[in-house]
């Protein structure tokens, strides 16, 4: 995957944590994800289409989800209710929406609404796609941001 599609996510994650969540964090090195594991409690999943197609998935523990939902809304969360899943979906939306603005080229990518998965699970991607995972560590645990994108055929051909 073109690194020019990964850097926008680093910028966007920083901005969301600094400006929307106001929470200390350490952004780790993006790395190629070899398999679908590990398991998480919660994932926010967003589809991308346009000059690239794929998905952006943020995955985290239940305790971190409660913390992030609280940091976003200013309320305290003790259970993963509808307001909490809405908040996790909104954080995924802000990360993907912020990143796509800085994609290379014509930047014509669009993002879908988020779906939020609740329950111990892992996420598998089409086996022919490279997945770049960005770890983001907080005092309440790690947020993993998986970026699974490929340039669409028409866009890749136009560049060649």
In 10 A of CB 127, how many CB atoms? 6
Q: Which is nearer to a second copy, 21 or 148 (CB)?
A: 148
* 151 Cβ neighbours under 8 A, 6+ residues apart: 2, 51, 52, 159
Q: Which is nearer to a second copy, 25 or 115 (CB)?
A: 115
Residue 152, token pair as written in the block: 């669409």
Q: Which is nearer to a second copy, 24 or 130 (CB)?
A: 130
In 10 A of CB 29, how many CB atoms? 8
Q: Which is nearer to a second copy, 45 or 71 (CB)?
A: 45
* Residue 88 beta carbon to a second copy: minimum distance, rounded to whole angstroms: 9
* Residue 26 beta carbon to a second copy: minimum distance, rounded to whole angstroms: 26
* Consecutive H or E run containing 65: helix 62-73
Q: Which of 133, 129, 25 lies closest to 71 in space, CA to CA?
A: 25
Q: What residue ranges bind a second copy (CB under 8 A)?
A: 36, 39, 43, 45-50, 53-55, 57, 82-83, 85-86, 89, 110-127, 129, 148, 150
* Residue 27 beta carbon to a second copy: minimum distance, rounded to whole angstroms: 23
């Amino acid at each position: 995957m073109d690194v020019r599609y990964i850097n926008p996510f680093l910028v966007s994650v920083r901005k969301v944590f600094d400006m929307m969540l106001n929470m200390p964090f350490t952004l780790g090195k993006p790395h190629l994800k070899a398999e679908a594991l590990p398991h998480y409690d919660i994932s926010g999943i967003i589809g991308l289409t346009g000059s690239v197609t794929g998905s952006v998935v943020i995955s985290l523990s239940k305790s971190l989800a409660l913390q992030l939902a609280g940091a976003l809304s200013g309320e305290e969360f003790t259970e993963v209710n509808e307001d909490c899943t809405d908040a996790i979906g909104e954080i995924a939306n802000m990360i993907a929406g912020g990143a796509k603005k800085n994609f290379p080229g014509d930047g014509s990518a669009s993002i879908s609404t988020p779906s939020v998965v609740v329950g111990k699970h892992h996420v598998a991607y089409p086996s022919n796609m490279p997945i770049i995972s960005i770890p983001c560590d907080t005092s309440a645990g790690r947020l993993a941001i998986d970026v699974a994108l490929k340039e669409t055929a028409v866009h890749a051909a136009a560049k060649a």
